[in-house]
Structure 1
Amino acid sequence: MFKRILFPTDFSEPSMKVLDYIPVLREAGAREVVLVHVIDEKDVTMIASGGQGFLGTIPDRETEAQRELREEIQHRVIDTRRALEKQGMAVTVRTPVGSPGKEVVAAADEEGASLVVLGSHGRSNLRDRLLGTVSEYVIKNARQPVLVIKRDMIRGQ
């Protein structure tokens, strides 16, 4: 029923809890995972400006910050892809730049996902919110079923 899963992540601990549920989803028939990491356009703007303050920007630092971000994302994508492949899943990777919620919904449609599986919270992990803003956006706007993994869920309980 859910052969192609869309797994959006910002690589935070709450968003990575999805990995614990992949074996169960595989048993239920899932065979492919589309791993999506959206590079938030707000982060790109901040990095491109070099975190511009009253002293202005230093071009060498901008380039270094952008390179470090790209390398960090590449390493995390590779590690997550390997973890999914070890669990027997075929993996496609997407790293769009834009608004995270909108890009996740667009990727689900473009990739023909049959299910979106995401953590209830991402990097901000605000304790006083029931859901993270990206999760909430995806739930309200995705055409596919959405499985939300709660941040405090511990498998087996």
Structure 2
Amino acid sequence: MYKKILYPTDFSETAEIALKHVKAFKTLKAEEVILLHVIDEREIKKRDIFSLLLGVAGLNKSVEEFENELKNKLTEEAKNKMENIKKELEDVGFKVKDIIVVGIPHEEIVKIAEDEGVDIIIMGSHGKTNLKEILLGSVTENVIKKSNKPVLVVKRKNS
């Protein structure tokens, strides 16, 4: 029933907990995992503003050059982290496709779930902000609202 899984990760503690659930789906005959990391374009824009305020752009770099360097740096960091996760999933017996995109996280997750024809999305309830007072993180909440796919939400650890 759930042959193809989308596992979006922001490399947070809650995403690591969700990874354990993804692996458990192997016993339910799941075959493939789409491993996804979305670099939030809004964070890049925020950093652009800070770079201008701090004068980084004044070092003979345009905002576009700074933005491209930042995207490349974040992509490289994500690739390194994803390699370990990909190996873990392959060791369990999954076929794994890894994707890194720049965009608005919930929009990209919903789009890739449709484009890849996944059967289920498995994700953590909260990302890196991990505000204790809220029931769900905004990315997770938006994915649940906007996706036509079933979403398994894995709770964070109680502290």
Q: TM-score range by the shorter chain?
A: 0.7 to 0.9
Amino acid at match of 1:146: V
- 1:142 corresponds in structure 2 to 147
Amino acid at match of 1:94: I
Q: Post-superposition shift, 1:48?
A: 4.7
1:86 aligns with 2:94: no
1:132 to 130, 137, 143: 137
CA distance in structure 1 between the aligned counterparts of 2:103 and 2:72, rounded to whole angstroms: 18
Give the fraction of aligned pairs with identical amino acids, expressed as a percent. Answer: 37
Q: Post-superposition shift, 1:151?
A: 0.6
Counting only pairs closer than 5 Å after superposition, residues 33-72 of structure 1 correspond to structure 2 as 33-48=33-48, 51-53=51-53, 55=55, 57=57, 58=59, 59=61, 62=66, 65-72=70-77
* RMSD of equivalent CA atoms: 2.1
Q: Which has the larger helix fraction?
A: 2
Q: Post-superposition shift, 1:20?
A: 1.1
CA distance in structure 1 between the aligned counterparts of 2:101 and 2:70, rounded to whole angstroms: 18
Q: Post-superposition shift, 1:52?
A: 2.1
The one-character-per-residue Cα deviations of 1:11-38 (angstroms, maximum 9, x if unpaired) are 1111121121133211111110001101
- 1:9 corresponds in structure 2 to 9
What stretches of structure 1 of length at least 5 have no aligned partner? none
Tell me, yes or no, if the aligned pair for 1:5 and 1:34 is still in contact at 8 Å. Answer: yes
Q: TM-score, normalised by structure 1?
A: 0.87
Tell me, yes or no, if the aligned pair for 2:18 and 2:124 is still in contact at 8 Å. Answer: yes
CA 1:64–1:113 in 2, change beyond 3 Å: closer, same or farther?
closer
CA distance in structure 2 between the aligned counterparts of 1:55 and 1:85, rounded to whole angstroms: 45
What stretches of structure 2 of length at least 5 have no aligned partner? none
Tell me, yes or no, if the aligned pair for 2:23 and 2:89 is still in contact at 8 Å. Answer: no
Tell me, yes or no, if the aligned pair for 1:116 and 1:147 is still in contact at 8 Å. Answer: yes
CA distance in structure 2 between the aligned counterparts of 1:81 and 1:54, rounded to whole angstroms: 37
Amino acid at match of 1:80: I
CA 1:31–1:44 in 2, change beyond 3 Å: closer, same or farther?
same
CA distance in structure 1 between the aligned counterparts of 2:45 and 2:104, rounded to whole angstroms: 12
Partner SS, residue 96 of structure 1: strand
